[in-house]
Amino acid sequence: MSMPQVNGDFESSLPLIGTVVDACGGDEGISQCFRSMLDQKLLWTRDQYRPIGMPQRVLPSPLLSDAEGLKLWRDITRLPTYYQTEGEIEFFNHYGHEIAGMVPPNAVLVDLGCGDVRKAKALLDHLEQLGNSVCYFALDLDKASLEHQMGILTPHYRHVRCFGLWGTFDHGLAWLNDQAFNRPRFLMSLGSIYGNDHFHDAVKSLEQLRTTGFHHQTDKMLLTMDGTQDAAIIWRSYHDHAGLFEKFIRNGYKHSNRVLNQQWYRDEDWDFVGLIQQDPLMHRFVIRARVNVTCPALKLDFPAGTEIDCYEAFKYPPDLMRRQFAMANFHEVGHWKAPKADLHHYLLVPSEDQAPMAI
Ligand SMILES: C[S@@+](CC[C@H](N)C(=O)[O-])C[C@H]1O[C@@H](n2cnc3c(N)ncnc32)[C@H](O)[C@@H]1O
């Protein structure tokens, strides 16, 4: 395995600063991708979807992230009860300088599911202060939102160069792997994204990320996971008085109508329910059919009482996250807890004997 080089090819292959790279094949490409996720998890066009051995209808979470969904998400993350965002920002205010010092010089940063980049900005500010000439790629699913984030970020920095990367995680990593970017990578999964799944699925996703996202022995990933074990705090964070979470989830179902080109989902047909489950502790939302719901064009026939899952939020504490990392062949080289919340930040590298080959 080789060490990354800093070379001239890199500079000439960079996109223009502040632009958004289309890694997904445009509106058509991203829409096809959403369609195939819906085929697999909601419509079951081939087989039943059985994430834990039992059939389950699920709205894939990327459907939540259209322009309206991301706007609602920005509002949710500003609610005083939604401790996750404030807690992570506080973490960066506290430890950002230390973390920034662990980012290799001239690294390529990839923010997997960047959202409104508020947390990443807290880290980028420290990198700017250190004069580390990193390239920051903000990867997410909505192009207009990425353009908006670029407009906010780029005027702030001289050393840090920012780019948007439009597509799914797979699209974004495939695009990066095609570039002549022989630089160390620093991946970021902020806001409990990777690791947040049924245990074995979470391990599978992490393993896949290790093989596609890591190329050098100096590559690292900062991963955050909410390990809160107090069910009352968790409940309050998902059940706000203004009903923003409900609007957010229902908006995802309306988005699926547009992707499928059929109005199979109508608000009035479905109750909205939140549930806390133990072993492992998690919160999930389901919609439950009030009436029989049919859509012949999609071959859907849901009897009253049918439940569809959405937005599963697992609360894995450090011991379970460490089991995930070991099973996915990651080695933990750093761990921090946010000052006031049970939010854990792990710095990971591929295990020595599993380290991938350099490109
Ligand atoms: C829980 S939010 C976290 C946002 C941000 N990282 C933060 O901590 O505030 C998840 C983000 O990941 C994005 N996302 C979810 N699934 C994705 C996928 N398969 N590919 C790319 N982005 C995805 C969503 O659009 C959303 O912005």
Ligand 1 proximity of 255 Cβ (cutoff 6 Å): no
Cα separation of 155 and 132, whole Å? 17
d(CA 117, CA 256): 25
Residue 276 lies in a domain: no
Domain count, the chain: 1
Atom of ligand 1 nearest to the CA of 168: 20
**Is residue 115 within 6 Å of ligand 1 at its C-beta?**
yes
**Candidate of 41, 58, 63, 65 to mutate for ligand 1, largest count of ligand atoms within 8 Å of Cβ:** 65
Residue 354 has what pLDDT? 57
Residue 207 lies inside a defined structural domain of this protein: yes
* Per-residue model confidence (pLDDT) at position 217: 82
- Residue 177 falls inside a structural domain: yes
Task: Residue 110: name the closest of 177, 64, 157 by CA.
Answer: 177
- Range of 126's domain? 8-28+82-230+318-354
Tell me how far apart the alpha carbons of residues 173 and 177 are, in angstroms, rounded to a whole number: 6
Atom 1 of ligand 1: nearest residue by CA position = 191
**Is 225 within the bounds of a domain?**
yes
Is the residue at 244 inside a domain? Answer: no
Nearest CA residue ID for atom 8, ligand 1 = 191
Paired with 188 in beta bridges are 111, 222
Nearest CA owner, ligand 1 atom 23: 113
Per-residue pLDDT tens digits of the chain, which is 359 residues long = 444 555 558 888 899 999 999 999 999 999 999 999 999 999 999 999 998 889 999 999 999 999 999 999 999 999 999 999 999 999 999 999 999 999 999 999 999 999 999 999 999 999 999 999 999 999 999 999 999 999 999 999 999 999 999 999 999 999 999 998 889 999 999 999 999 999 999 999 999 999 999 988 889 999 999 999 999 999 999 999 999 999 999 999 999 999 999 999 999 999 999 999 999 999 999 999 999 999 999 999 999 999 999 999 999 999 999 999 999 999 999 999 999 999 999 999 999 765 554 44
pLDDT of residue 166: 98
User: 147 — phi, psi (to 5°)?
Assistant: -60, -40
Torsion, Cα 111 210 24 10, to 10 degrees, reads 70
SS (H, E, C) the chain: CCCCCCCHHHHHHCCCCCCEEECCCHHHHHHHHHHHHHHHHHHCCCCCCCCCCCCCCECCHHHHCCHHHHHHHHHHCCCCCCHHHHHHHHHHHHHHHHHHCCCCCCCEEEEECCCCCHHHHHHHHHHHHHCCCCEEEEEECCHHHHHHHHHHHHHHCCCCEEEEEECCHHHHHHHHHHCCCCCCEEEEECCCCCCCCCHHHHHHHHHHHHHHHCCCCCCEEEEEEECCCCHHHHHHHHCCCCCHHHHHHHHHHHHHHHHHCCCCCCHHHEEEEEEEECCCCEEEEEEEECCCEEEHHHCEEECCCCEEEEEEEECCCHHHHHHHHHHCCEEEEEEEECCCCCEEEEEEEECHHHCCCCC
Residue 295, token pair as written in the block: 């859509």
What's the pLDDT at 7? 52
Give the pLDDT score at 4. 53
Q: Which residues contact 201 (CB under 8 A, 6 or more apart)?
A: 51
| In a domain? residue 304 | no
Q: What is the pLDDT of residue 181?
A: 83
The verdict on residue 237 lying in a domain is: no
Q: Which CATH number do you get for residue 113? A: 3.40.50.150
For residue 322, tell me if it sits in a domain.
yes
